Amino acid sequence: MLRQTFALVRDLPRLQEIASVLIRYGWGDIVRALGIANLLERAGRLLHWQTTNEITALDLPVRIRLALTELGPTFVKLGQVLATRVDVFPPDWIAEFEQLHNRVPPVPFEQIRPQLEKALGQPIEAVFERFDTAAFAAASIAQVHRAVLKDGSRVVVKVRRPDIVPKIEADLRILGHLARLLEVELPEARRYQPTQIVQQLTRSLRRELDMVKEARNIERFAQNFADDPTVHIPRVYWEYCSETVNVQEELQGVPGTDLEAVRAAGLDLDVLASRGGDAVLKMILVHGYFHADPHPGNVIYLPGNVIGMVDFGMVGRLTDRRREQIIDFLNAMVLKDEEGMLNVLLTWAGDAEVDEERLAYDISEMVFSYDNLPLKDVQIGPLLADVTALMRDNHLTMPSDLTLLFKALITLEGLGRQLTPGFHMVDHLEPFIRELYASRYTPAAMAKRARHGVKEMLEVVLGLPRDLAHLFRLARRGSLRIDLDLKRLDHFGHQLNYAANRLTMGVLTASLIVGSSIIMTIPDAPMSLTLLGAFGFILAFGNSVWIVISIWRSDKD
């Protein structure tokens, strides 16, 4: 706690800047509610509580986007993380968050050069035959330069911006503190899970700050697609990679953002859309390790209709169990199986309280809206948007790995339809689902599940004597504890405490009446004693009025 306090004091200038921006964009009430204003004023940093009419006239999601943009890279990344939380935020908010980009002016090369040469361990000229000092892409965390190695290989060099880590760490500390304050001071903000979102942001940013982690991601994808000639993953030059520098193969092709150039190159748009869809579905359903942002800017179309992918800073990972759930859920969606969808959604809800009847009814309504639509015309993007809206309306929170997955599927379908309007994700889903379902019930797969089941059962049975012995030891020591989670227990405790307070006030009032009566009956008592008795009666009367009013209010409630 003491360390957090020192960190907060150290970050006061940045906290003042954040508070000022929030106030300017109409968030002054939240700044006051969190107590930030009091903290800054006590520290001698006064805030000007002014918001222009032009800003207040803007819609709330727009104001949030503008504030995040002004606050810099950490908050832009926060907006990008929020854009994946389609289960928490409505579509108009998601649309605004999706407009947040990390495009910023590049740092002059002379500022980058010392860090680059330190990471390489030698001068740039000793490693590269040619190095373009003008960055061709720049984001808030890193910028990218084209270069040619001594052996003639064309590469791209991704270099982390100097001094970016302390700024981001300071922002993360402040965001963590603000998230905890939000959950304590503003109960209505808890459904947005600010603490969990900040944790997700922290993991994502720290992965992106370490260029070696992105290189490992690239290597993993390259291994997964080593036998697939339709997908090309850049080669990593490990001898030049470090925490601050990533050197990888430059893909020679047509950017996915330039459709005219794709057509001019003679590439087949239908084949590209089909191969791109199959590649990402293979990542998700087969490998359980997927590119979380397959938008056109991260795709390069290569000769021979080969799909090249770049920028592996944001990836998603699914456990085997989660992949099984995804397959069941997608299959239920394709078959319009209400019971199957309900079972998976309840599994994802975890321990949260769920109105199962309402959830089942909402699923039935959603499925009914697609009832007369041929399967080939079902679009996964709108369908997943309906599912997330259903979860949001039922106050169900989706696990963070699934929010990335849903976002990737929606982005992928948009990419496919950009290439060819006739692209249907369902056409590509069905073969994968059939194959994966069939593989579940092969003799080898069933034997594997049986072995796991027997192993778990044996572990429980063999561990039972040890667990019982431990239980009895705790009982003998008198340290056995049973935790009960009873509904409304907190409310009952408050009511009990309130009743005890009223009882105490009643006893005190009775004592004042008796004591004052005795004082007032003393013959020839001095004036001071008489006044004390009269004051006791007045105080007892006030207490009595308070008790009567409190009883009347509680009966009314």
**Is the domain defined by 102-164+205-250 classed in CATH 3.40.50.720?**
no
311-315, long-range: CB < 8 A, 24+ apart:
312/214, 312/217, 312/218, 312/221, 313/207, 313/208, 313/214, 313/217, 314/204, 314/207, 314/208, 314/404, 315/217, 315/289, 315/290, 315/291
302 - beta bridge partners? 306
Condensed to tens digits (0 to 9), the pLDDT of residues 298-311 reads: 899 999 999 999 88
Mean pLDDT calculated for residue range 537-554: 72
The pLDDT-based confidence of 402 (bands split at 50, 70, 90) is confident
Is residue 392 within 8 Å of 88, Cβ to Cβ?
yes
- ∠ CA 83-87-91, rounded to 5°: 55
> What pLDDT is attached to residue 306?
94
The pLDDT-based confidence of 247 (bands split at 50, 70, 90) is very high
From the centroid of its chain, how far is CA 378? 28
Mean pLDDT calculated for residue range 242-246: 92
Q: In terms of pLDDT, which residue wins out, 323 or 535? A: 323
Percent of the chain with pLDDT over 90: 17
308 - beta bridge partners? 232, 300
Contacts of 254 (CB under 8 A, 6+ apart): 261, 262, 265, 267, 300, 301
Q: In terms of pLDDT, which residue wins out, 10 or 515? A: 515
> Which positions are annotated as active-site residues?
293
The pLDDT-based confidence of 156 (bands split at 50, 70, 90) is very high
Six-digit token string for 201:
């942001």
Most confident of 251-260, 373-382, 405-414: 251-260
Q: In this predicted structure, which of 33-47, 71-85, 114-128, 196-210 has the lowest mean pLDDT?
A: 33-47
The pLDDT-based confidence of 155 (bands split at 50, 70, 90) is very high
Mean pLDDT calculated for residue range 219-242: 93
Residue with tokens 């309306």: 393
Q: What is the bridge-based pairing of β-strands 245-249 and 154-160?
A: antiparallel
Measure the CA dihedral 433/434/436/437, to 10°: 110
The pLDDT-based confidence of 1 (bands split at 50, 70, 90) is very low
Mean pLDDT calculated for residue range 150-162: 92
Q: Is the pLDDT of residue 125 over 60?
A: yes
> What pLDDT is attached to residue 458?
75
Q: In this predicted structure, which of 333-342, 349-358, 368-377 has the lowest mean pLDDT?
A: 368-377
DSSP H/E element including 149:
strand 142-149
Mean pLDDT calculated for residue range 110-120: 91
Mean pLDDT calculated for residue range 96-124: 85
Q: Is the pLDDT of residue 11 over 70?
A: no
> What pLDDT is attached to residue 466?
82
Q: In this predicted structure, which of 41-50, 105-114, 365-374 has the lowest mean pLDDT?
A: 41-50
Q: In this predicted structure, which of 75-79, 187-191, 536-540 has the lowest mean pLDDT?
A: 187-191
> What pLDDT is attached to residue 245?
93
> What pLDDT is attached to residue 250?
93
CA dist 94 and 88 (Å) reads: 10
> What pLDDT is attached to residue 4?
47
> What pLDDT is attached to residue 381?
74
Condensed to tens digits (0 to 9), the pLDDT of residues 432-474 reads: 888 887 777 777 777 776 777 777 777 777 777 887 787 778 7
Q: Is the pLDDT of residue 18 over 90?
A: no
DSSP H/E element including 128:
strand 128-131
Most confident of 65-79, 108-122, 174-188: 108-122
> What pLDDT is attached to residue 407?
78
Mean pLDDT calculated for residue range 391-420: 79
Condensed to tens digits (0 to 9), the pLDDT of residues 205-221 reads: 888 888 898 899 999 99
Buried b (16+ CB within 10 A) or exposed e, 204-223: bbeebbbbebbbbbbbbbbe
- Mean pLDDT for the chain? 79
The pLDDT-based confidence of 404 (bands split at 50, 70, 90) is confident
Q: In this predicted structure, which of 178-187, 371-380, 479-488 has the lowest mean pLDDT?
A: 479-488
CA dist 203 and 313 (Å) reads: 11
Measure the CA dihedral 289/191/328/389, to 10°: -110
Contacts of 483 (CB under 8 A, 6+ apart): none
